[in-house]
């Protein structure tokens, strides 16, 4: 692991801390809020904890063309992360939904991490607002960490494309109180 990355024990501790912060936000603010409200509350709490968050970071797409030259895509095409923790080299992607985190959300974060050599981990934070027979609102946090290893994808014409390998983990809050008091 290079000196430009944060070690997994620090990342895991931070992810657990963020999950606890998000749990408290859900329990105090309640379910069924818009993503932007949860984002404002989380940024405030992260600042209180001294984690120095940045909001709505915009960055360009960067790809390699068929001649292995880097190209930057412009024309108002860009990526925007919800919250970043620059000192810890992490990206936080927030969701507010009625279901478990979708694979699409995990891939969105992975794409962000692939575009950023200055970030080695990210967390999809999903404020799940659903009451049911076996479920109650809670926060699901899915962690992706660049492993420091790469692998090659071979295209149909035999070209080798190198991409990062990732380690993943998941953290969940306790469930929000049942609706028995309404």
pLDDT tens digit string along 33-92?
A: 999 999 999 999 999 999 999 998 777 777 777 787 888 776 666 678 999 999 999 999
User: What integer pLDDT is reported at residue 26 of this predicted model?
Assistant: 97
Q: What is the mean pLDDT of residues 130-156?
A: 91
Residue 1 pLDDT class (50, 70, 90 cuts): very low
With a cut of 70, say whether residue 10 has pLDDT above it: yes
Between 6 and 182, residue with greater pLDDT: 6
What's the rounded Cα separation, in Å, for the pair 166 and 7?
14
pLDDT band at 113 (very low <50, low <70, confident <90, very high): very high
Please state the rounded mean pLDDT for residues 100-119: 94
CB atoms within 10 A of CB 15: 24
């Amino acid at each position: 692991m290079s000196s430009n990355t944060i070690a997994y024990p620090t990342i895991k501790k931070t992810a657990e801390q963020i999950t606890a912060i998000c749990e408290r936000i859900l329990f105090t603010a309640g379910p069924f809020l818009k993503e932007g409200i949860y984002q404002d509350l989380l940024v405030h709490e992260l600042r209180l904890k001294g984690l120095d968050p940045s909001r709505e970071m915009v960055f360009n797409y960067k790809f390699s063309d068929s001649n292995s030259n880097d190209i930057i895509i412009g024309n108002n095409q860009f990526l925007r992360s919800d919250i970043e923790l620059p000192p810890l080299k992490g990206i936080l992607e927030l969701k507010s939904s009625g279901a478990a985190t979708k694979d699409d959300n995990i891939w969105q974060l992975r794409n962000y991490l692939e575009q950023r050599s200055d970030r080695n981990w990210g967390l999809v934070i999903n404020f799940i607002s659903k009451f049911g027979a076996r479920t109650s609102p809670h926060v699901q946090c899915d962690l992706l960490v660049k492993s420091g290893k790469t692998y090659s994808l071979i295209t149909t014409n035999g070209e080798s494309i190198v991409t990062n390998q990732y380690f993943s983990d998941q953290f969940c809050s306790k469930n929000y109180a049942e609706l028995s008091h309404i």
